[in-house]
Amino acid sequence: MSLPEDPKQAIIAAREYLQVSAIADIMGVSERQIYNYLSDKVKPQPLRVNELRNHLQKPSNTKATFTMIDLFAGIGGIRKGFEKIGGKCVFTSEWNKFSVQTYKANYPDDHEINGDITEVNAKDIPDHDVLLAGFPCQPFSLAGVSKKKSMGKKHGFEDETQGTLFFDVCRIIAEKQPRAFLLENVKNLVSHDKGKTFKVIKDSLKKLGYHIEFRVISATPWVPQKRQRIFIVGFRDTTEFDFDQVVIPDTNPTLASILHQSDEEPEEGYTEKYQGMTRVLEKYTLSDKLWNYLQGYSKKHAAKGNGFGCSVVGPEDVSRTLSARYYKDGSEILIKQKGKNPRMLTPRECSRLMGFDRPKNKPIKIPVSNCQAWRQFGNAVAVPVIEAIAKAMQPHIEGTFVPPKNNKLLKLK
């Protein structure tokens, strides 16, 4: 929506869509200051009003066409995709305090963020149209399962700390009966325990009365990263939704599209100006000790005939999957540098690699340490993939789907 030019009238108009607390967060002032603006005690600064104006110019931040809840929210990647088609989030659950910090910085909601979902009474969750959940993947991921096996620990549904959280999703679906849901997890969920785990998931959702479709999708048509995830869509009523309705771009982006550029504005903590150009800070370049270790590690495993080791890539390449362990040494994605050791991606580049923002566009806020930021982006979803799925689901959510006459929908790769 467009706000009136007059600052006071702009805030009055914004109150039709947002509570005072949310307006205060967006403008970066206290709630009392908002009331001072409205009572003409203080005149709002144009820059602060522009923050509010920019926020409400996004279609997703005006009047919503449906409501949704965000479970195991992380830093809000799934929510971000559904906001783009007009969803309004009415409930959020995320237990990690650092993820909550990033989430709040980018989503100044008028509702509190709930922690441990196992302690939430489903009856207390607001009614909603769509349930979104990227339930914990570590119990099912290839790396997670291998690590747990090596340590003699349980994995999958036998992992009581995380593996059974899927059933909390079922508990909420059973109580609230949303019109639709989207669940996301690692590709290995399909084959875990010889397919038994995924069969339990499918059967559980079907017993709740939902018609489900699922697909493993690679993010490479959207972002320069080899990242495959399974997406499960469910509808309470019979629909004609099919994953073939998800339109994929006919592009093959490379890392050049997300790396820091020499002509972009420097960002504190990530880049600096040097001889009239922007460059990445030296602290992201690997030390000789770490670089020598990673090269030796790669050679040792290459001699054994396996693929373990570091991956050094350039602007023309596509990266491996960014994982939550990236903060340890960056070995899965190291960027070539002329005449020096390779470097790690900055958190801003990780944000771009996951599709949260793009070079020269307004960036998302990253209020946490580099270590926490790397963890968060490694655990996140590729936002453009979610946007594409959400767009395909939208007419089915709203009941406006019309089958295409020529049926020339692009197939997922």
Using DSSP's 3-state secondary structure scheme, residue 94 falls into: coil
All structural domains of the chain: 7-56 (no CATH), 61-249+382-398 (3.40.50.150), 255-379 (3.90.120.10)
* DSSP character at residue 225: B
Mean pLDDT of the region 71-98: 95
Of 48-62, 162-176, 222-236, 384-398, least confident by mean pLDDT is 48-62
- pLDDT given at position 146: 43
Higher pLDDT, 400 or 173: 173
Mean pLDDT of the region 284-289: 97
pLDDT band at 63 (very low <50, low <70, confident <90, very high): low
Residues 15 and 22: their CA atoms lie apart, in Å, by: 9
Mean pLDDT of the region 374-384: 97
Q: Which two tokens stand for residue 393?
A: 């689901």
| pLDDT of 206 above 90 | yes
Element (H, E) at 212: strand 211-218
- pLDDT given at position 152: 53
Kindly tell me the sign of the dihedral angle through the C-alpha atoms of 176, 181, 186, 191: positive
- pLDDT given at position 137: 66
User: Around 289, how many Cα atoms within 13 Å sit in the side-chain half-sphere?
Assistant: 0
- pLDDT given at position 168: 93
- pLDDT given at position 49: 86
- pLDDT given at position 144: 44
pLDDT band at 231 (very low <50, low <70, confident <90, very high): very high
Higher pLDDT, 222 or 404: 222
From its phi and psi, is residue 28 left (phi > 0), alpha (psi between -120 and 50) or beta?
A: left
- pLDDT given at position 301: 73
Of 27-41, 130-144, 251-265, least confident by mean pLDDT is 130-144
Positions annotated as catalytic residues are 137
Mean pLDDT of the region 267-283: 96
- pLDDT given at position 48: 84
Mean pLDDT of the region 248-260: 94
* Contact (Cβ atoms closer than 8 angstroms) between residue 113 and residue 74: no
CB-based contacts of 257, cutoff 8 Å, min separation 6: 224, 352, 358, 359
Kindly tell me the sign of the dihedral angle through the C-alpha atoms of 79, 388, 52, 272: positive
pLDDT band at 412 (very low <50, low <70, confident <90, very high): very low
Element (H, E) at 345: none
Higher pLDDT, 136 or 291: 291
Among 83, 128, 132, smallest CA distance to 109 is for 83
Residues 19 and 127: their CA atoms lie apart, in Å, by: 19
- pLDDT given at position 318: 97
- pLDDT tens digit string along 190-200? 887 788 889 99
Q: Which two tokens stand for residue 399?
A: 């009941």
pLDDT band at 325 (very low <50, low <70, confident <90, very high): very high
Using DSSP's 3-state secondary structure scheme, residue 109 falls into: coil
The beta-strand segments (E) located in 228-380 are 228-235, 271-274, 277-280, 312-313, 334-335, 343-344
From its phi and psi, is residue 226 left (phi > 0), alpha (psi between -120 and 50) or beta?
A: beta
Instruction: Please provide the average confidence, as pLDDT, over all residues in the chain.
Output: 87
Among 66, 192, 190, 64, smallest CA distance to 132 is for 66
* DSSP character at residue 49: H
Kindly tell me the sign of the dihedral angle through the C-alpha atoms of 242, 69, 383, 353: negative
3-state secondary structure 273-298: EECCEEEECHHHECCHHHHHHHHHHH
Using DSSP's 3-state secondary structure scheme, residue 325 falls into: coil
- pLDDT tens digit string along 150-181? 445 443 444 444 457 899 999 999 999 999 99
**What is the pTM assigned to this prediction?**
0.78
Of 2-11, 54-63, 256-265, least confident by mean pLDDT is 54-63
pLDDT band at 23 (very low <50, low <70, confident <90, very high): confident
| pLDDT of 240 above 70 | yes
User: Around 319, how many Cα atoms within 13 Å sit in the side-chain half-sphere?
Assistant: 32
- pLDDT given at position 331: 94
Q: Across the chain, which distance is largest between two alpha carbons, in Å?
A: 74
